[in-house]
Structure 1
């Protein structure tokens, strides 16, 4: 293993120390770990996300105007703890409530739920919204239901704009559900990532193999498949997105009035001819931009054949898996409200326009 690190136990701390020096507009807390906006504007709903480190720039790179108010990084590929989320929520709350945006991994879900209950005990209005966009699996060793992956970036941008526009906590929560219902992602790996504490790749792939449907922590996908070429693999990935039928989602919703969790169920929305979408073609860490554009070229062609219009796009490394060679594709079926919020100004270390 050759990595630009010092001691494996200090990777996240030293990363956060570097972020603090590179971005003095952010407040970086080291005990417990969290990143928040240093300067608060007008009172508004506070948006917080987080998860294991190793997916940078998600989430800390998206703290700033028009996106997150706070981010809670765990150790590498390990959920942050409730005390991180709780203290971060206390710090960014301006009286309008706190919305946690949670990727669907068991540890993340349980710890964010604990933080919700702690903040509620302080008299703070709070809610949690689940992102579960990975169409590769409906259940895994890490999740009950689909995994939450790169659609989280799109949700953070749209919801961040909504909070700046003065949406209430209830309105933001409903919007988050709509984004989750309309998001689909799939990823493939050409090679495994190396977690510093492990010191070697998480799995082995032959030179002519890919892991199809990989998770962002290296979780197994749908199958091991032979590698052919970019167009063939991209077409197979998009087939999974197109073929993904609507399904019943059941998630837990916090009732602030009753002070208890309640289950809600609804059906995801289909992707049909005439729809408008935002597309994210994302590097999992080790895939160069030149190859991502080759993938995007085929994605655009296939969507056009289906009568679906790309209204906006991101191409680059936005939700990584350390140094994994691989790519993910996310398609979000947008309405005019989402598109308008997407275009609103944003100013964060990793995403910036209109400011």
Structure 2
């Protein structure tokens, strides 16, 4: 496999060096693997920290900045960051108002963030935690006990980040993050496997002419494999899988997310089909976001995330944000 890297062992550090060069508004600690907004800690503001294995960019480092995260901790590719990173991040962003850890439901992430919370609290930092587990495809996975955390992470980080930017206290920011998670569901589809730098080849076998319905962001198996389907058919399957568990009379936010190797031409076409299905199911769309946001290296495919919103969540979603991967209203 051809990859634009030097050696597999330095791929994360090299990416962080590039991020530091491209985004002077961030403080990028390459040695300790922590990305922090340069003005942190912000006086009177709750700090938001998230993180996970690299390979899902722009999640999470691309979402550090005003209106979203205060810090992110990148692990090695598809590998959880370690507690020391999280403790450093919490200390860097704590203004005395506490820190919210936003954790995707993968076993390594959960264990390490739990340990980091204990260590940070020992150092006098008040910590709250929210677990993101929005994937409806499977209940237990190769990496999880319970549902996986996927596209809803973006909604949680954006809406909780807006509330924190407005000065909401820690318990309110955590409650809103929890509400967003409970109001969101996702379903992903893979058209090809992804390639990790360490392996240098596909991480799983997906024969030509087949797709994986319900794939995880590390390539974990989903519900079933089928012969290749049209965008129309995939949208029907994915949206119906989400709506089976997200009954709503409220408007929804829609994320049509690329897995890393799907061109925008295809994603926008798929977004049109998602809107068609939602219209047929009489679901009102408040806003739609299309692009590569929660990726899986070079996997071809897409995921659909719906988030049921009320007036407050919608207002917070529309609030200004200025990060490398998401920005509006600034």
* TM-score normalised per structure 2: 0.98
The structure with the greater share of residues assigned to strand is 1
Q: Is the 8 A contact 1:54 1:76 kept in 2?
A: yes
Name structure 1 gaps, 5 residues minimum. Answer: 245-269
> Is 1:185 aligned to 2:186, yes or no?
yes
> Is 1:220 aligned to 2:214, yes or no?
no
Look up the match of 2:301. 326
In the alignment, the residues of structure 1 paired with residue 220 and residue 207 of structure 2 have an alpha-carbon distance, to the nearest angstrom, of 17
- What displacement does 1:140 show? 1.3
Look up the match of 1:316. 291
Look up the match of 2:264. 289
Name structure 2 gaps, 5 residues minimum. Answer: none
- Counterparts of 1:5-154 in structure 2, within 5 Å, are 5-40=5-40, 41-154=42-155
Q: Is the 8 A contact 2:66 2:322 kept in 1?
A: yes
Deviations 1:174-208 (A, max 9, x none): 11111111110000100000000011001122221
Give the aligned CA root-mean-square deviation in angstroms. Answer: 0.9
Question: What secondary structure does 1:96 align onto?
Answer: coil
Question: What secondary structure does 2:86 align onto?
Answer: helix
- What displacement does 1:332 show? 0.4
Q: Is the 8 A contact 1:188 1:328 kept in 2?
A: yes
In the alignment, the residues of structure 1 paired with residue 159 and residue 198 of structure 2 have an alpha-carbon distance, to the nearest angstrom, of 35
Aligned length: 329
Look up the match of 1:162. 163
Q: Is the 8 A contact 2:159 2:313 kept in 1?
A: yes
Q: Is the 8 A contact 1:275 1:307 kept in 2?
A: no
* TM-score normalised per structure 1: 0.91
Which is further off, 235-244 or 209-218?
Answer: 235-244
Which is further off, 186-195 or 32-41?
Answer: 32-41
Q: Is the 8 A contact 2:50 2:101 kept in 1?
A: yes
- What displacement does 1:42 show? 3.2
In the alignment, the residues of structure 2 paired with residue 305 and residue 191 of structure 1 have an alpha-carbon distance, to the nearest angstrom, of 29
Deviations 1:123-173 (A, max 9, x none): 211111000000001111211110000110111111110001111110111
In the alignment, the residues of structure 2 paired with residue 33 and residue 204 of structure 1 have an alpha-carbon distance, to the nearest angstrom, of 32
> Is 1:347 aligned to 2:299, yes or no?
no
Deviations 1:66-122 (A, max 9, x none): 000000000000000000000111011111000000000000000000010011111
In the alignment, the residues of structure 1 paired with residue 237 and residue 88 of structure 2 have an alpha-carbon distance, to the nearest angstrom, of 44
Which is further off, 197-206 or 19-28?
Answer: 197-206
